[in-house]
Structure 1
Amino acid sequence: MVVGTPDHGAPRAYACGVVRRWKWWRRPTGDAARGARRTTPGPGTGSAAAPDGAGGAAEAAATDPTADHPRAPGSVDGPGASNVVATVTRDRVAASLRRRDYRYLVDERGDLCGLWAYRFFSFGVVPDQVLQVRGRWSRQASIERLWEVLAFTDSWNRERHHPKCYVRVHDDGRVHVLTEVTVPVRSGLSDAQIDHLLAVGLASGGMVFDALDELYPDPALNREPS
Structure 2
Amino acid sequence: MTDPNADLTADFIEATRSSYDAIAPAYSAEHPDGLGDGPVETGLLTAFAELVRTAADEPQVADVGSGPGYVTARLNALGLQAFGIDLSPHMVALAREAHPRLRFQVGSMTALDVPDATLAGVIALYSTIHVPDAELPGVLAEFHRVLRPGGYVLLAFQASEGEHIHMAERYGQDISLDYYFRTPAEVATYLTEAGLSVYAQARIERQGQQKWGRAFTLAHKPPTAG
TM range (shorter): under 0.3
Tell me which of the two structures has the higher relative contact order, counting C-alpha pairs closer than 8 angstroms and 6 or more residues apart.
1
TM norm structure 2: 0.28
The structure that is strand-richer by fraction is 2
TM norm structure 1: 0.28
